[in-house]
């Protein structure tokens, strides 16, 4: 006796649904396996930060000994990206990338906060003014930052990765999606309001000694509004907009929604690719498991007021700015720990 057509239809529907689920679920682990097989290293996004209370946030991941040895000399100017950049060499012959402009301060702070709680970050050092030997009389893009012959203002120096192999990674498709550490990174981006989350701003560094480290390598669009605004100075490194930006938008027993990244102003629809890119990133702040948000909050909560202030002092902020940014940041950390 054959089953009725309606029952057959239900079974076929259920079977098709099961096939879709089975096809989708292994994707993350398969991708992780492919990465392992291709590089010989396991990818690492986060590592135990150890004693967070003992970390030196003034000097950051590179430490005091890792600072560039002055004087530095000019090598070449970088014409890529949105910000003016130069390649420099210090007195020990070590290569550095110098970023100029509004992102140099927030990036210096953001790298220290990420490193403090166990994420990989660049060795960044900030200089209010920097003497550069051999600096050309006229730079193609960075001329506005030259305040005297051979002197640059507002310089973030970042250690050059050297012989490491580097590639980018994708926010939506990577081997860490769904893990506590990846969800914690999503929270960290919202915490510091680093809204320009292009895949090109992510990096995988590989070498035979350290393995494969995954990181957000460009975190300069931080500490301003929770999304792009009409002017660069409103979008990043803006205490008033950072203070006004809403952080936690919704809390349920299972998950947290963070108001990040915000939808761009409608005027940006005339630059459709940028508008759609930012809209498509809004998932990063949505449906973050509550326990994962609390986990990263518990790590951040171990930082003292002094440590947070040190991170901002290292980036050349004024005393009033240090106090203001620290207050907002600590309020956001408290909100995570009160979930």
Residues 268-285 have pLDDT tens digits of 666 677 667 677 888 999
- Residue 143, pLDDT > 70, answer yes
pLDDT band at 58; cut points 50, 70, 90: very high
User: 114 or 42: which carries more pLDDT confidence?
Assistant: 114
Q: Are strands 72-78 and 95-100 parallel, antiparallel or unpaired?
A: unpaired
pLDDT at 247: 96
* Nearest partner of 182 among 208, 202, 209, 163, judged by Cα: 202
Q: Are strands 124-133 and 248-251 parallel, antiparallel or unpaired?
A: unpaired
d(CA 50, CA 334): 21
- Which of the residue ranges 5-14, 126-135, 161-170, 325-334 would you say has the lowest mean pLDDT? 5-14
pLDDT at 26: 33
pLDDT at 64: 97
Q: For residue 289, give Cα distances in angstroms to 3, 254, 281.
A: 43, 6, 17
Give the 3-state secondary structure of residue 88. strand
- Residue 144, pLDDT > 70, answer yes
pLDDT at 275: 65
pLDDT at 209: 72
d(CA 141, CA 77): 8
In degrees and rounded to multiples of 5, residue 144 shows phi and psi of: -65, -15
pLDDT band at 190; cut points 50, 70, 90: very high
- Which of the residue ranges 3-7, 13-17, 265-269 would you say has the lowest mean pLDDT? 13-17
Max mean pLDDT among 158-167, 205-214, 261-270, 323-332 falls in: 323-332
pLDDT at 160: 81
pLDDT band at 207; cut points 50, 70, 90: confident
Q: What is the mean pLDDT of residues 4-10?
A: 45
- Residue 20, pLDDT > 50, answer no
pLDDT at 165: 75
Q: What is the mean pLDDT of residues 303-317?
A: 98
Q: What is the pTM of this model?
A: 0.85
Q: Which helix (H) or strand (E) holds 8?
A: helix 5-24
Summary mean pLDDT of the chain: 86
pLDDT at 273: 72
pLDDT at 176: 97
pLDDT at 231: 66
- Residue 37, pLDDT > 70, answer no
Q: Are strands 146-148 and 211-216 parallel, antiparallel or unpaired?
A: unpaired
CB 113 within 8 A of CB 188: yes
pLDDT tens across 80-110, in order? 767 799 999 999 999 999 999 999 999 999 9
pLDDT at 277: 67
- Residue 29, pLDDT > 60, answer no
Q: What is the chain's Cα-based Rg? A: 22
């Amino acid at each position: 006796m054959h089953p009725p057509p309606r029952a057959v239809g239900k079974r076929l529907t259920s079977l098709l649904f099961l096939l879709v689920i089975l096809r989708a679920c292994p994707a993350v682990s398969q991708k992780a396996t492919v990465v392992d097989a291709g590089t010989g290293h396991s990818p690492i996004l986060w590592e135990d930060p150890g004693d967070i209370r003992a970390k030196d946030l003034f000097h950051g991941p590179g430490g005091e000994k890792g600072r560039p040895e002055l004087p530095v000399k000019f090598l070449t100017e970088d014409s890529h990206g949105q910000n003016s950049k130069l390649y420099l060499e210090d007195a020990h012959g070590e290569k550095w990338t110098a970023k100029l402009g509004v992102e140099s301060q927030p990036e210096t702070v953001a790298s220290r906060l990420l490193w403090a709680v166990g994420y990989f970050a660049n060795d960044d050092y900030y200089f209010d003014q920097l003497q550069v030997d051999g600096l050309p009389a006229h730079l193609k893009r960075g001329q506005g930052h030259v305040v005297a012959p051979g002197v640059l203002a507002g310089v973030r120096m970042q250690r050059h990765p050297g012989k490491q192999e580097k590639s980018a990674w994708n926010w939506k498709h990577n081997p860490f999606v769904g893990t506590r550490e990846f969800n914690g990174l999503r929270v960290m981006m919202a915490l510091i309001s680093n809204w320009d989350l292009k895949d090109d701003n992510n990096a995988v560094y590989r070498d035979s000694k350290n393995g494969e480290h995954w990181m957000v390598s460009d975190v300069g669009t931080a500490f301003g509004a929770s999304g792009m605004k009409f002017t660069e100075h409103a979008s990043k490194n803006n205490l008033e907009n950072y203070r006004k930006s809403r952080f936690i938008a919704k809390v349920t027993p299972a998950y947290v929604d963070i108001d990040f990244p915000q939808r761009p102003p409608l005027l940006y629809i005339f630059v459709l690719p940028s508008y759609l890119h930012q809209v498509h990133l809004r998932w990063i702040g949505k449906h973050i498991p509550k326990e994962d948000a609390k986990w990263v909050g518990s790590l951040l909560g171990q930082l003292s007021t002094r440590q947070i202030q040190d991170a901002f002092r290292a980036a050349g902020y004024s005393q009033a700015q240090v106090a203001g940014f620290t207050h907002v940041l600590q309020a956001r950390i408290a909100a995570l720990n009160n979930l």
